[in-house]
Structure 1
Amino acid sequence: MRETSNPALVAASAPVAQKRAPLAGLTLKTLVGAALLTGSSAYAQDTQPMQTVPEPPTSAVAPVPDVAPELAPDDPSSEITVTGSRIARNGYDQPTPVTVIGLQEIQAAAPANIADFVNQIPSVSGSVTPSNTQRNLSGGAGGINTINLRSLGTARTLVLLDGHRSVGSLASGTVDVNTIPQGLVKSVEVVTGGASSVYGSDAVAGVVNFILDRTYTGLKGEASYGETTYGDDQTWRVSLTGGLSFAEGRGHALLSGNLVRRGGVYGAGSRPWTDRAVHLIQNPRHVAGNGQPEYVAAGQSGLNTTTGGGIITSNSIGTNGASLRGTYFGQGGTVNRYDYGANRLNNLPWTVGGDYQLSQQYYGTSIQPEEQLSSVFGRFSFDILETLQVYTELSYNRSNQISWGGYHTDKANVTIRGDNAFIPAALRALIPNSSAYTFTLGTWNQDIPTRESHYDRNVQRYLLGFEGSFDLINTGWKWDAYYQRGIMNAKEGLVAANRVKLGYAQDAIRDGSGNIVCRPTAAALADPLFQGCVPFNRMGIGVNSPEAVAYIMGTPYDDRRLQQDVAAVNFSTNIQNPWLDAIGVAFGVEHRKEQISGYVPPEYAAGWYSGNFTATRGSYTVTEGYGETVVPLPFKFEFNGAARYTHYSESGNVVTWKAGLSWQPIKDIRFRVTRSRDIRAPNLSELFQGGSRNTNSIGDPWQNNQAVRYTQTVTGNLDLQPEKADSWGLGVIYRPSFIPGLGLSVDYYDIKIKDAIGTLGAQDIVDRCFTGNVDLCQRLRAITPTGTIAYGSPGFGSTGPGPTVSEYLIANSPYNFLSNRARGIDLEASYQFDLSTIAAALPGKMNFRGIATHYLEASEANGVQAPTDVVGENAGGGPANWTYRLTLGYAVDNFSLQVIGRGVSAGVYNNNWVECTSGCPASNTINRTIADNHIDGAFYLDTYFAYDLPVGGVKSQLFFRVANLLNKDPAPVGKGPSDTSNVDLGINQTMYDYLGRSFRLGLRFDL
């Protein structure tokens, strides 16, 4: 089992370690060539030796002829396994498309994290990243980098490390790519199709397998520094990897470490595009039946229900007979009149023009969170016998994230009594000094620090494995077995205000001595939270002492632990026969246990603006067995089939399968087709969620979509069943022999998921109750001045609870009620040639690669209403209709450069909405009318330069990358129309570049 250094031929998903004889001229670059990122496969018969000339550190490899170099039938190096299959075979192309991303391509992107690059692949859309979870303060996802294939959700993408599962960093099972040993990754293989029968649950959209260089010998490293053109988001990355062989080559040891320090971007004031202040709002000119559109994406807009120092939002009447509405409080408690701009004639929460800027609080929200990542990975292998190897892997990853999530906002829900001691004198003269008199404020509390999240997460992984081979009935078998334990510990901490304490502190009066004190009611005196109360002034900016702020602030947190235990054994062989090429066979069994536990101090379970944590506890087991075969057929056909039987302790038994056929009638063209049944079992969060809470606002359809606060509690559902997906894949690869170096591929996919697990959003529940869905109405309760009433009780019927609702309480949970469908086309083209073929005097090589995905459908249906298709909804749901990446590279001598164009097509806010400016049809909860439904697309230009330093005996390279060279601003995307969007940035951070031009300079070496 002694391994020699030819990592180009090894895909670490192989079930056994292989003895690898060097092949002259074959490198990792050649194996990457035919893959072309999203549709074609990189296998032995797709590769050929390339000329020994410098190439840019990218995926710049031409498609190649269909015949591999001749290999002896018994040469172990002829057996190549890729992620699409567990069967090692020489020179076959399986039907399932496999994307191969090579080391040079990753290096050319120079990412701080490898996920930043993988998420640029067009078939990946909507991944969870630190930048789009900065306001997800208590959801556990802060600092996570995930991969979302086909926009079907990260829970439907299976992430592997060398073919092995890894413990998730979230209760959903989502694997954080930060935990991958970055310095050892030599390639990434992406199966863009169902693979549950081969790899198990969660592979509905596909598999992403990170391949490590397990035979690396030497010492290599990288140090780089980057920042944006605005001087922020300073990022350092240092990695160091060492490998050595010992005991005459029988043993091999690897150690790799990685450090990333990212400064982040606190507040959006440094970006000029924040001045656009674009929001999706209710059209102030719209009245039902007047033909005006209901919604409009308006610039220079903002909420009129909240300002930094508070604004009176109620129509309370002063002693002079005038309404106090629009009175706002500024620096030092000054009293001012608000200019409602274009909205002065109605009672909508949005202002266009006027004093819209008073509601802008972008500088309290992070654009890019601050991150600190540290990791170490070690691997030790030893050949006990020529046919038996033992190996172990150990890793530890630590990640910290700090992020601002926006100010503590109260939108027209703060009640101030007339005898409040902090009422400014100018207002005091207009109102009675009486506790019976009240007015309502809206404020984003500029005197209270912005909400802040701190995530501290560590992931440990321990693996012990064996690999070997044996002969049985004149057939050579390979086998592997391993046991793995993964542990994730996370502390999710916040800096937030306590609502109960703030309620006590704002109710300030003067005592008999004239001192300002918190009102000492009987209920307050009996509450321990009232102890030490320091009065807090809600009317003004800069009017509160540090002691008053300290009283209401706290640091709620929760601890959670995930543990995954996996044991598996796999066998594979190639069965020779006199009629056809060898028949590949693989089979194996696996047992897995997933468990979660947590702890929340009682004082942090309720009463906070953010947090209100609940602990989740539970576990389930999975036992499964699979079989796979590859059968060559006459007339250049080949069949690939697999089946897997799985038993889930919580949700029963499931059978998954795959059948594929490929045909190569001539050497220039190959066709392939696959059909599969895939599954996703309910995860720990969906089964055992203890009751996660979030508080925000919705538009109340019973009150003309007026903003009303809600508190939603989501609990798990033990009755959930596995999702079932039926997938089709059709593809063709064309490599014309008369144009050497040119390759084209087209792949179509169609994935249908039934009994999909989902949770309706709060706005959807209320809207669908409003339109008559009684089942969803049962999830609602309304808080009114007379108490809390449930749907169906007196006062809360089909006409709603009336205009006196101060808050909705929503009980929610996931269930199998959805149907999803994803369809699309992956397109690729690549071409590589020597410039000398044009003119003998021209030096160097040119290469081009273009990849694109055309998303045709990403729909969801709940069995009641028509399916909603989000393809082209660039506001957030996505994906875009077209996503693409174009690469042009040049290499000569020690120098290489690359120019990358990437982008997305234009889209809309909502596919179901009707665009009109006059004569509009009646607007309803599904088919809203909007003045302009258009959202711009984007094209970004990146550059990369590398120079191999002429240092004797040391391979070293200096590189420089510029991303978003033209410093293109993100497209304006108005958030709304509910008033929850006042702290959003007015962009889609998942789809568009939001940092602006950024630079990275670095040095690599390999001793």
Structure 2
Amino acid sequence: MFKRNARSAAVAALIGTLGATSAFAQEADTQKLERIEITGSRIKKSDATAESPIVTVTAEELRQSGIVTVEQFLNTLPQVTAGLSSQSNNPSSNGRAFIDLRGLGSNRNLVLINGRRAMGSTGGGTVDTNTIPTSLIERVEVITGGAATAYGADAVSGVVNFIMKKNFKGLELDAHHRMTDRSDGKESSASMTLGGTFEGGRGSAVFGASFFKRDSIYKGAREFSAQASTSTTIFPNGSIGVGTNAPSQAAVDGIFGANKCNQNGGAAGFGFNPDGTLFCTGVAGNATREVVNYRGPESHIATRFYPDNFSYNFEPDNALVLPMERWSVYSSMDYEVNKNFRPYASFQFTNYNAQSELAPTPAGGTTGFFVPVTNPFLSAEARTLLAARDNPTATVSFSKRFNALGGRTSYNTHDVGQGIVGASGELLGDWTYDLYASYGRSVQNESQGGNVRLPRVQALINAADGGASLCAGGFNPFGDAPISVECQKYISLEAKNLTTVVQKVIEGTVTGPVVQLPAGSLDAVFGLSYRGLDYDFKPDSGLQPGQVAGFNEQNPVKGELAFKDVFAEAVIPLLRNVPLVKSLSATVGARVSDSKLTGKDSSFKLTMDWAINNTVRVRGGAQSAVRAPNVTELFAPPVNNFPTFTNADPCTNTSSYRTGASAAQVRALCTTQSAVAGAAGYVQPSSQANGITAGNPDLMPEKSKSFTAGLVLQPTRDLSATIDYWSIDLKEKIDAVDAPTIVQRCFNRDGANPNFSPTNEWCQLFSRDPNNGGVIKLVQLSRNQASQKISGIDLGLDYALSLQQLGSLRWNAVATWTEKNKQQTTVLSPVNDFVGSIGSTTGTAIPKWRASLSTTYSWGDLSVQLLNRYIDKMVNAETVTGGSPVTNTGTAATWYHDISARYAITKSITVRAGVSNLADQQPRLYSPNVQANTDPSTFDVLGRRYFVGLNAKF
């Protein structure tokens, strides 16, 4: 899979049926005498050895894999943790794709193009890899040992460096098509690359253009995602919640039968059938309080919870794979005026659009719809029940899912461009310089459909005439009554949001020999850089807090960041050609970064490279990094959020809190917060909490230290292996406490509230809905309060075997064994080790082993490859923090097998074909999950796929 040249060191370990996990390392050919720059250091060296774990992926490997987008391919690498991808729907990245090294977050690694910062698309400058034109990629170098000193203080976990084609001559055309064996999920791409030299080779230029299109797939198209695994209390035909002002049991029995339905109607209140009649929504785990009198369509039933209680099956209306259409252009040119002045320029532009789609908007409940008893559309049954309450004239809470408005769609158009101009050349003696300026701009236009205007809905509900005076026909919210086009327009909002990011970079370096030492030349690089980032988010005015349901409320965010850096690096040769030392050198580096918001911070680097002989090389070192908070972390205003809260409420009557030694105190505190939450049969009403997030202008930079130590072995030209130990210690990490922890600490989790006081600091971070007891207004602010320590071993093997006239075989294995991933959210929190677990948010899959093994057979113009990928079993992250393995399930070990073939018909034309996920391995399901009952970024949700491709070079 990963091509190694003669001196390459791939990562050691035959993975075969063991299933190892990440590892990598690569060295350059010692036969080459020219000085080469390897990602991780700015100093070019003739031996070009990497001092940290590194892997290189070539353009040909990308093509042969059958994967069209770079992000999908990189997510299969063991050292990459799959996070938000271009396929992610909920949570959605609006079609963007981010790379996450080591699981530390996509905002803690850098994405470079030819060693320079690429144009970011977020408030933190995080790069969307969709904006990098695939057709122009020559190779991708991934270094994960930290690279802050060389490229920027925020390269905490490393860098991903896209090396683009430069000295390209001729014309290359490429076309690719892929689809599933279910005849959906079609992906097509086409590209053209044109390049050449001029002025006798003094100048070179390359131009490329590419196009990509992907079709959508909805969750209903796959059995594993067609049913919801989490519950909801908001239904298409509506429901009412009576809270503590419930009708008499006799009135309830008169409608539903003796002792079949609770006074409050069940966990979700009283639901409406399509014809406006009522049904009892039931109580989970109570066989005598099941769903009664439901007359709606079976397609609305979430069968996992039925018949104990009613929950709507919202999954089929959600997108499983987002549709996307993208085109991009890239060009670069350089010209040698003389040896002292070689100007260069490059430009790239990408336009793409993607659409996410969620189930129709659920509104009410915590968003506060209330129905007066005078509403003309209330049925006779409903009036009978409401009249039997202690306060018969009181309003009643109401919720409804607005299916008539269609799904919640988010159509996003991204325009991302970056231009670079610069010059390089020789200075005095052997010194060289490189000076460039970069300007980039990213614009995202989002158009949202399916939003509901809350005040207007409430106005219709309150109107004595049912709203007929406000829109034609009025609004009958109960059941499946039609809504006129005029009323649909009246209550809906098509929101338009605009996000603009501008990045400016100026950087200059000088490189050359400082002094000649007995073991060789001491080379150094000195540099200055300036980076400015402007972020401006302008939401639709209709998305103000309290005005809309559907997508999250939004407020404007605007901010500027600026950094001035001074950096230096030197390679110091220590010994050469003495016993047990063919060569020994040290690389030292330092960077001082000055931010106008957070002040000055420094990072350092010290690495060693010891070649014992031609066969054995030892490498390693220590580095530090500093990541400054980004614009949204600092300045985002308070907005609503809906964090995952599955089976997390201590007030649920079957929870360990309500049944444990402190059950009486827990129930008393629940009752103080909400009479409904303290009731004997209370079950949390939703798998999401109603939260509030905001920026924190008092944030300070994160700090980290990393360490690597490795061994490179190359006993023959055809065999190489490496083993690298790595560790990263991240302190003062910017993080927010998750929703379950905040609520459970109010109930003395981690000893945070031993007196079960309602005025405890954790209890003050949320409140409860008086009608259903659910958690609302939960405040989650990021602080420099967390820490994380990760470590592991990267392994690899690269072996080529000649079969003489019968061709050759090549095996390449990469794997990572993760030793620990210890996290602490606050000093009060316990230290949890999440190795071997998978969570309910993106980027939280941390298998102990992850690996890939490729076997390639080549014979003349034919090449056939079998790729085996392994993901170790994982428990649910909830069980690490004390959750029950019965309700918090994990995933089994998973193998994926891909096969592909490539054949050169002529010297100019090559065809390729293959099958991805040959065994049609279905995604591993677990609960609680990220989305679609699984983690779509970690596990394959498409199934078996076929691809064909054609490449022509002239």
TM over 0.5: yes
Residues 799, 110 of structure 1: CA spacing in aligned structure 2 closer, same or farther, 3 A cutoff?
Answer: closer
Q: Does 1:376 align with 2:329?
A: yes
Q: Does 1:670 align with 2:617?
A: yes
Q: Does 1:736 align with 2:683?
A: no
What is the one-letter code of the residue matched to 2:796?
E
Q: Which range is displaced more, 210-219 or 692-701? A: 692-701
Give the match for residue 834 of structure 2.
870
Q: Does 1:752 align with 2:729?
A: yes
Distance (Å, rounded) in 2 between the aligned partners of 1:745 and 1:335: 68
Give the match for residue 205 of structure 1.
157
Give the match for residue 425 of structure 2.
468
What is the one-letter code of the residue matched to 2:777?
L
Per-residue deviation, 1:651: 0.7
Residues 721, 534 of structure 1: CA spacing in aligned structure 2 closer, same or farther, 3 A cutoff?
Answer: farther
Q: Which range is displaced more, 598-607 or 153-162? A: 598-607
What is the one-letter code of the residue matched to 2:31?
P
Give the match for residue 628 of structure 1.
569
Give the match for residue 236 of structure 1.
188
Distance (Å, rounded) in 1 between the aligned partners of 2:753 and 2:38: 46
Give the match for residue 793 of structure 2.
825
Per-residue deviation, 1:28: 8.2
SS of equivalent to 1:880: coil
The counterpart of 1:987, out of the listed 914, 934, 938, is 934
Per-residue deviation, 1:797: 7.2
Map Cα deviations across residues 679-711 of structure 1 (whole Å, 9 max, x no partner): 111112212223443246745543366247754
Q: Does 1:550 align with 2:485?
A: no
Q: Does 1:901 align with 2:856?
A: no
Distance (Å, rounded) in 1 between the aligned partners of 2:532 and 2:252: 70
CA contact (8 A) 1:622 1:648 kept: yes
CA contact (8 A) 2:685 2:774 kept: no
SS of equivalent to 1:969: coil
Distance (Å, rounded) in 1 between the aligned partners of 2:770 and 2:397: 15
Give the match for residue 916 of structure 2.
963
Distance (Å, rounded) in 2 between the aligned partners of 1:207 and 1:581: 29
Give the match for residue 447 of structure 1.
404
Per-residue deviation, 1:328: 3.5
Map Cα deviations across residues 845-901 of structure 1 (whole Å, 9 max, x no partner): 111111111122222212111112222222442212211111111111222111111
SS of equivalent to 2:403: coil
Residues 936, 313 of structure 1: CA spacing in aligned structure 2 closer, same or farther, 3 A cutoff?
Answer: farther
The counterpart of 1:583, out of the listed 519, 522, 525, is 522
Distance (Å, rounded) in 2 between the aligned partners of 1:582 and 1:684: 43
Normalised TM-score (structure 1): 0.80
Residues 492, 869 of structure 1: CA spacing in aligned structure 2 closer, same or farther, 3 A cutoff?
Answer: farther
CA contact (8 A) 1:242 1:256 kept: yes
Residues 334, 801 of structure 1: CA spacing in aligned structure 2 closer, same or farther, 3 A cutoff?
Answer: closer
Per-residue deviation, 1:151: 0.3
Q: Which range is displaced more, 215-224 or 355-364? A: 355-364
Per-residue deviation, 1:216: 0.7
CA contact (8 A) 1:482 1:569 kept: yes
Residues 799, 998 of structure 1: CA spacing in aligned structure 2 closer, same or farther, 3 A cutoff?
Answer: closer
What is the one-letter code of the residue matched to 1:420?
N
CA contact (8 A) 1:268 1:985 kept: yes
What is the one-letter code of the residue matched to 2:947?
R
Distance (Å, rounded) in 2 between the aligned partners of 1:196 and 1:324: 59
Q: Does 1:269 align with 2:197?
A: no
Per-residue deviation, 1:336: 4.7
Give the match for residue 854 of structure 2.
887
Distance (Å, rounded) in 2 between the aligned partners of 1:159 and 1:996: 30
CA contact (8 A) 1:32 1:102 kept: no
Map Cα deviations across residues 411-433 of structure 1 (whole Å, 9 max, x no partner): 75654443333334565566549
The counterpart of 2:205, out of the listed 253, 261, 271, is 253
Give the match for residue 894 of structure 2.
938
Residues 455, 830 of structure 1: CA spacing in aligned structure 2 closer, same or farther, 3 A cutoff?
Answer: same
What is the one-letter code of the residue matched to 1:517?
G
Distance (Å, rounded) in 1 between the aligned partners of 2:311 and 2:598: 52
Residues 306, 687 of structure 1: CA spacing in aligned structure 2 closer, same or farther, 3 A cutoff?
Answer: closer
Give the match for residue 922 of structure 1.
none
CA RMSD, Structure 1 to Structure 2 (Å): 3.3
Distance (Å, rounded) in 2 between the aligned partners of 1:884 and 1:423: 60
Give the match for residue 95 of structure 1.
51
The counterpart of 1:503, out of the listed 452, 457, 460, is 457
What is the one-letter code of the residue matched to 1:943?
I
Map Cα deviations across residues 164-186 of structure 1 (whole Å, 9 max, x no partner): 01221011221011111211111
What is the one-letter code of the residue matched to 2:832?
T
CA contact (8 A) 1:949 1:956 kept: yes
What is the one-letter code of the residue matched to 1:586?
V
Correspondence list, 1:779-928, <5 A:
792=759, 808-836=776-804, 843-861=806-824, 862-876=826-840, 877-910=844-877, 912-913=879-880, 926=882, 928=884
Count residues in correspondence. Answer: 868
Residues 812, 865 of structure 1: CA spacing in aligned structure 2 closer, same or farther, 3 A cutoff?
Answer: closer
Give the match for residue 418 of structure 1.
373
Q: Does 1:563 align with 2:502?
A: yes
What is the one-letter code of the residue matched to 1:878?
A
Residues 865, 623 of structure 1: CA spacing in aligned structure 2 closer, same or farther, 3 A cutoff?
Answer: same
The counterpart of 1:723, out of the listed 685, 702, 723, is 702
The counterpart of 2:118, out of the listed 166, 180, 188, is 166
Map Cα deviations across residues 635-673 of structure 1 (whole Å, 9 max, x no partner): 332211111111111111111111111222232222112
Give the match for residue 477 of structure 1.
431
Residues 550, 32 of structure 1: CA spacing in aligned structure 2 closer, same or farther, 3 A cutoff?
Answer: farther
Distance (Å, rounded) in 1 between the aligned partners of 2:125 and 2:153: 11
Q: Does 1:408 align with 2:361?
A: yes
CA contact (8 A) 2:901 2:912 kept: yes
SS of equivalent to 2:467: strand
Residues 165, 546 of structure 1: CA spacing in aligned structure 2 closer, same or farther, 3 A cutoff?
Answer: same
Give the match for residue 294 of structure 2.
none
Residues 700, 338 of structure 1: CA spacing in aligned structure 2 closer, same or farther, 3 A cutoff?
Answer: closer
The counterpart of 2:414, out of the listed 448, 453, 457, is 457
Residues 807, 41 of structure 1: CA spacing in aligned structure 2 closer, same or farther, 3 A cutoff?
Answer: closer
SS of equivalent to 2:219: coil
Give the match for residue 616 of structure 1.
557
Distance (Å, rounded) in 2 between the aligned partners of 1:904 and 1:223: 31
Residues 647, 1005 of structure 1: CA spacing in aligned structure 2 closer, same or farther, 3 A cutoff?
Answer: same
Distance (Å, rounded) in 1 between the aligned partners of 2:308 and 2:793: 48
What is the one-letter code of the residue matched to 2:610?
W
Segments of 5+ residues of structure 1 without an aligned counterpart are 1-26, 48-67, 72-77, 280-301, 521-530, 778-789, 837-841, 914-924
Map Cα deviations across residues 368-421 of structure 1 (whole Å, 9 max, x no partner): 111111111111211111332111111211121101122322475654443333
Residues 504, 800 of structure 1: CA spacing in aligned structure 2 closer, same or farther, 3 A cutoff?
Answer: closer
Correspondence list, 1:37-48, <5 A:
39=23, 41-44=25-28, 47=29
Normalised TM-score (structure 2): 0.84
Give the match for residue 365 of structure 1.
318
Map Cα deviations across residues 726-747 of structure 1 (whole Å, 9 max, x no partner): 111111122223xx52222111
Residues 270, 630 of structure 1: CA spacing in aligned structure 2 closer, same or farther, 3 A cutoff?
Answer: same
Q: Which range is displaced more, 879-888 or 341-350? A: 341-350
Per-residue deviation, 1:551: 2.1
Residues 797, 713 of structure 1: CA spacing in aligned structure 2 closer, same or farther, 3 A cutoff?
Answer: closer
| Percent of aligned pairs with the same amino acid | 23
Residues 310, 693 of structure 1: CA spacing in aligned structure 2 closer, same or farther, 3 A cutoff?
Answer: closer
Map Cα deviations across residues 96-146 of structure 1 (whole Å, 9 max, x no partner): 2221112221121132211211111100003320223x1236xxx311111
Give the match for residue 54 of structure 1.
none
CA contact (8 A) 1:342 1:351 kept: no
Distance (Å, rounded) in 1 between the aligned partners of 2:32 and 2:281: 81
Per-residue deviation, 1:537: 2.9
SS of equivalent to 1:178: helix
Q: Does 1:603 align with 2:582?
A: no
Per-residue deviation, 1:465: 0.5
Segments of 5+ residues of structure 2 without an aligned counterpart are 13-21, 254-262, 292-301, 576-580, 651-669, 671-676
Distance (Å, rounded) in 1 between the aligned partners of 2:59 and 2:762: 65
Correspondence list, 1:135-174, <5 A:
135-136=90-91, 141-174=93-126
Per-residue deviation, 1:366: 0.8
Distance (Å, rounded) in 2 between the aligned partners of 1:122 and 1:903: 9
Give the match for residue 667 of structure 2.
none
Residues 967, 578 of structure 1: CA spacing in aligned structure 2 closer, same or farther, 3 A cutoff?
Answer: closer
